[in-house]
Amino acid sequence: MAESLENPRSGAKAAALDRYAEAGVDIVAGNAAVARYRDVLAGWRHPDQLDAIGGFAGLFRMPGDGERALVASTDGVGTKVLIAGELGRYGGVGRDLVNHCVNDILVCNATPLFFLDYLAVGRLDPDAAAEIVSGCADACRAHDCALLGGETAEMPGLYARDHFDLAGTIVGMVRVDAIPDVTTVAAGDAIVGLPAIGLHTNGYSLARALIPRPEWGEPFGDTTYADALLAEHPSYYRAVRAIQAVATVKTMAHITGGGLLDNVSRTLPRSCKAIFEQQRWRVPPLEAELVRRGNLDFEDRYRVLNMGIGYTLVVPFTEAPAALEVVPGAVVIGWIESRAEGDPAVVIHPARNER
Amino acid sequence: MAESLENPRSGAKAAALDRYAEAGVDIVAGNAAVARYRDVLAGWRHPDQLDAIGGFAGLFRMPGDGERALVASTDGVGTKVLIAGELGRYGGVGRDLVNHCVNDILVCNATPLFFLDYLAVGRLDPDAAAEIVSGCADACRAHDCALLGGETAEMPGLYARDHFDLAGTIVGMVRVDAIPDVTTVAAGDAIVGLPAIGLHTNGYSLARALIPRPEWGEPFGDTTYADALLAEHPSYYRAVRAIQAVATVKTMAHITGGGLLDNVSRTLPRSCKAIFEQQRWRVPPLEAELVRRGNLDFEDRYRVLNMGIGYTLVVPFTEAPAALEVVPGAVVIGWIESRAEGDPAVVIHPARNER
């Protein structure tokens, strides 16, 4: 779904999906809100604001410095917080949040500088709060990123006694000449996919509707539903830097709400489309289970869920083997073709047993 | 209350107050959380992080630039959102939030660069969301600050259908040699106070407990309780810049949660204390009403409420008249004295009729 490139706003978008709407997330309203935001913001744009790539982060020219830009993004972890709160497992959501934000600005090729968190609670439990902030601190430190501050708000009446919400903002930096240029993408380029680990931070309203609370403690494959649902959103920072050292990375996408269909399309030139072949990678068990339980149609799967791919990179065809070699689990999941008028920006060919 | 200067975290502090606790805000837990955060963050500090002043914002050395620092702060508007939501008046909270953030980094003398919002809702109403973001955009533009991005999250199950939460992060810039130096504060300096307009963004859990919903539409002085409660948090940016043009500003404080007692003390050297004389300014009607209804004791009033002062500046005694001349409503509300071992950092002399 299109969103204002000039003022990236995520979350309100996500998928046009019946199952999702039944779970309480209204995509029509989301699209309407994004359109209204565009109107609100149409009146004025700061002269130091640069065009963002696909709306994952905002770009701001470093004042008095023609060579560098600041890159910022705000995000939350969605209703994953309800599962974490219910199970009293707080550390993971802090890492989820920081890693999500790191990946968002990585699409602009930015290196993290600092992060600030917002933690809102119904009743402040110092141990739980410390565990959440500690998770943020761990993930910040792993990226040599300062945890520069934060706000903890106790808001009775807005949050139920044991509920909390968690959001955060990251600021990074990039050389202006190192900002990915989507116009370099060309037919024949390969698309490398990096494996997702669980749902990351999207689709939890749907997952909670399809896998009810009483089942969370039950075994699920080698693990439990709880463990599978709370699997941590990985950072792709080191993998991307490793690939950039051996291959030309033309454009990237972080596969969040909107899935492969919406996120990849936002980072392509109008002249190109992305073709994915689902048989080239394995759909993880939790996603497969949600597809089965929700009887999700093909389009729905690839809008609400990541379906096993967390991050994509477009590289020249001949350089793809080098990229795969440096990142275990990386797979060529598709390629770029010329896009004719009226073609969709993203096509996903199902695996044979899914047709 | 002390908080980590190295990692400013606000909100969890606020006041040690029985009435506040009855309203659902637990100060003992807040203090415990801040102590736990300090432990969490004690292990590592990014080398580019600078000491913050009073914990209003975080400071980060601009990479590759010895002369400037980035200044960032995250904040929310507290349970003022419940009043705004209940009354369907959404525009003000966006301005409240941005102005709050502007004032927080202004304590470090920072000029705003960009802002990002986080809006979480139970059910997405595109009109309400656009009104909130429009309020943010207005206040950003008034400060020549980019609204660089944001996140809108629809989170059924966490937020009630018509509830929302709003938080935001601002990033500004300051020359390192223009960061206020609290050690320049000396006995005999004057403290200039800038008038508050209503409760700003603090004390709303208490206010909602003392002024119940059915009364909001009723007249209150020249206005209604609703209007008084939703009065917008002003920005002190222009007033401070005007005063800096005519007087030496040594240190400043934004009077948020914690009131004059906690916020001013955080911006003084250990060798100094602040003496305020309440008879030098007028306590606004809404604060007076809350004091009356809640039978708030003196200490309580000055920890949970701003009591009519929104921002303070310490200037040399002889330069105070020039400061007052350029900002209508500015008043000398107190002065600096030497602080002996064991003295409180802030003393407030009540007005005669309050003793």
Cβ distance B172 to B68 under 8 Å? no
Token readout for A279 is: 């048989």
- The pLDDT, as a whole number, for residue A53 is 84
Question: B84 and B110 share a domain?
Answer: yes
Q: Among B118, B143, B178, which residue terminates a domain? A: B178
**How far apart are alpha carbons B313 and B244 in whole angstroms?**
10
Q: Residue B287: pLDDT above 90?
A: yes
Question: B163 and B261 share a domain?
Answer: no
- Please report, rounded to a whole number, the percentage of residues in chain A having pLDDT higher than 90: 83
Helix (H, G, I), strand (E, B) or coil at A328: coil
Question: A158 and A262 share a domain?
Answer: no
**How far apart are alpha carbons B74 and A23 in whole angstroms?**
31
- The pLDDT, as a whole number, for residue A26 is 79
- The pLDDT, as a whole number, for residue A17 is 54
Q: Residue A333: pLDDT above 60?
A: yes
B contact residues 133-192, partner A, Cβ 8 Å cutoff = 133-134, 137, 141, 144-159, 163, 165, 167, 169, 171, 173
What number is the average pLDDT over the span B299-313? 94
> Of the candidates B146, B169, B171, which has its C-beta nearest A49's C-beta?
B146
Question: A205 and A173 share a domain?
Answer: no
**Domain total for chain A?**
2
What number is the average pLDDT over the span A345-354? 85
Query: In Å, how far is A257's CA from the nearest CA of chain B?
Result: 11
**pLDDT confidence tier of residue B354, bands split at 50, 70 and 90:** low
**pLDDT confidence tier of residue A254, bands split at 50, 70 and 90:** very high
* Mean pLDDT over each residue of chain B, to the nearest integer: 92
Q: What's the one-letter identity of residue A155? A: M
What number is the average pLDDT over the span B327-347? 97
Question: A208 and A313 share a domain?
Answer: yes
Contact B156 A24 (CB under 8 A): yes
**How far apart are alpha carbons B208 and B214 in whole angstroms?**
11
Predicted complex ipTM exceeds 0.90: yes
Q: In this structure, how many other beta carbons lie within 10 angstroms of the beta carbon of residue A213?
A: 13
- The pLDDT, as a whole number, for residue A354 is 62
- The pLDDT, as a whole number, for residue B1 is 25
What number is the average pLDDT over the span A255-261? 94
What number is the average pLDDT over the span A210-228? 96
Kindly report the CATH number assigned to the domain that includes residue A170: 3.30.1330.10
Higher pLDDT, A104 or B66: A104
Contact A157 B32 (CB under 8 A): no
Contact residues on chain A for B130, CB-CB shorter than 8 A: 33, 36-37, 39-40
Higher pLDDT, A101 or A29: A101
**How far apart are alpha carbons B323 and B35 in whole angstroms?**
38
Q: Is residue A20 part of a domain?
A: yes
B contact residues 262-301, partner A, Cβ 8 Å cutoff = none
- Please report, rounded to a whole number, the percentage of residues in chain B having pLDDT higher than 70: 94
Kindly report the CATH number assigned to the domain that includes residue A185: 3.90.650.10
Q: Is residue B38 part of a domain?
A: no
- The pLDDT, as a whole number, for residue A22 is 74
- The pLDDT, as a whole number, for residue A6 is 34
CA distance readout (Å), A234 to A302, B197, B295:
19, 45, 52
Q: Residue A13: pLDDT above 50?
A: no
Q: Is residue A354 part of a domain?
A: no
Q: Is B308 exposed, middle or buried (0-12, 13-18, 19+ CB in 10 A)?
A: buried
B contact residues 122-141, partner A, Cβ 8 Å cutoff = 123-127, 129-130, 133-134, 137, 141
| pLDDT tens column, A267-278 | 999 999 999 999
pTM: 0.94
Q: Residue A31: pLDDT above 70?
A: yes
Q: Is residue A38 part of a domain?
A: no
Token readout for B259 is: 């009131």
Q: Is residue A25 part of a domain?
A: yes
Q: Among B147, B178, B209, which residue terminates a domain? A: B178
What number is the average pLDDT over the span B285-310? 94
* Structural domain that includes position A219: 3-29+181-349
A contact residues 37-56, partner B, Cβ 8 Å cutoff = 37, 39-41, 43-46, 48-49, 52
Q: Residue A89: pLDDT above 80?
A: yes
**pLDDT confidence tier of residue B18, bands split at 50, 70 and 90:** low
Q: Among B130, B158, B178, which residue terminates a domain? A: B178
- The pLDDT, as a whole number, for residue A8 is 46
Q: Residue A4: pLDDT above 50?
A: no
State the SS3 of B191-258: EEEEECCCCCCCCHHHHHHHCCHHHCCCEECCEEHHHHHCCCCCCCHHHHHHHHHHCCCCEEEECCCC
H or E element at residue A130? helix A126-142
Question: For residue B146, what are the β-bridge partners?
Answer: B114
Query: In Å, how far is B175's CA from the nearest CA of chain A?
Result: 12
**pLDDT confidence tier of residue B52, bands split at 50, 70 and 90:** confident
What number is the average pLDDT over the span A150-158? 93
Closest CA to A57 of A34, A39, A74: A74
How many beta-carbon contacts under 8 Å exist across A and B?
A: 287
| pLDDT tens column, A103-153 | 999 999 999 999 999 999 999 999 999 999 999 999 999 999 999 999 999
- The pLDDT, as a whole number, for residue A27 is 77
Q: Residue B8: pLDDT above 70?
A: no
Q: Residue B320: pLDDT above 90?
A: yes
Q: Residue A15: pLDDT above 80?
A: no
Residue written as tokens 């432990």?
B39
Residue written as tokens 């005519």?
B246
CA dihedral B181, B185, B189, B190 (to 10 degrees): 50
Ordered DSSP codes for B10-69: ESS-----HHHHHTT--HHHHHHHHHHHHHHHHT---TTEE--STTSSEEEEPTT-TTEE
Question: A275 and A127 share a domain?
Answer: no
Question: A76 and A224 share a domain?
Answer: no
**pLDDT confidence tier of residue B43, bands split at 50, 70 and 90:** confident
Q: Residue A5: pLDDT above 70?
A: no
**How far apart are alpha carbons B314 and A294 in whole angstroms?**
63
**How far apart are alpha carbons A268 and A251 in whole angstroms?**
8
> Of the candidates A73, A79, A159, which has its C-beta nearest B149's C-beta?
A73
Q: Residue A229: pLDDT above 90?
A: yes
| pLDDT tens column, B135-170 | 999 999 999 999 999 999 999 899 999 999 999 999
Question: B11 and B84 share a domain?
Answer: no
Q: Is residue A215 part of a domain?
A: yes
- The pLDDT, as a whole number, for residue A227 is 97
CA A17 to the chain's CA centroid: 18
**How far apart are alpha carbons B188 and B314 in whole angstroms?**
10
**pLDDT confidence tier of residue B28, bands split at 50, 70 and 90:** confident
Q: Is residue A117 part of a domain?
A: yes
> B15 CB contacts (<8 Å, ≥6 apart)?
B27, B257, B258, B259, B262, B300, B303, B304
State the SS3 of B286-352: HHHHHHHHHCCCHHHHHHHCCCCEEEEEEECHHHHHHHHHHCCCCEEEEEEEECCCCCCCEEEECCH
Q: Is residue A148 part of a domain?
A: yes
- The pLDDT, as a whole number, for residue B353 is 66
What number is the average pLDDT over the span B189-193? 98
> A188 CB contacts (<8 Å, ≥6 apart)?
A316, A317, A335, A336
- The pLDDT, as a whole number, for residue B16 is 37
Question: A89 and A107 share a domain?
Answer: yes
**pLDDT confidence tier of residue B9, bands split at 50, 70 and 90:** very low
Question: B171 and B186 share a domain?
Answer: no
Closest CA to B197 of B253, B235, B241, B242: B235
| pLDDT tens column, B226-239 | 999 999 999 999 99
Question: B197 and B325 share a domain?
Answer: yes
> Which residue of A36, A40, A98 is the best one to mutate when testing the B interface, meaning the one whose CB has the most B CBs within 10 A?
A40
- The pLDDT, as a whole number, for residue B12 is 38
H or E element at residue A290? helix A285-294
- The pLDDT, as a whole number, for residue A2 is 26
Q: Residue B254: pLDDT above 60?
A: yes
**pLDDT confidence tier of residue A353, bands split at 50, 70 and 90:** low
> Which residue of B154, B174, B176, B208 is the best one to mutate when testing the A interface, meaning the one whose CB has the most A CBs within 10 A?
B154
Question: A7 and A84 share a domain?
Answer: no
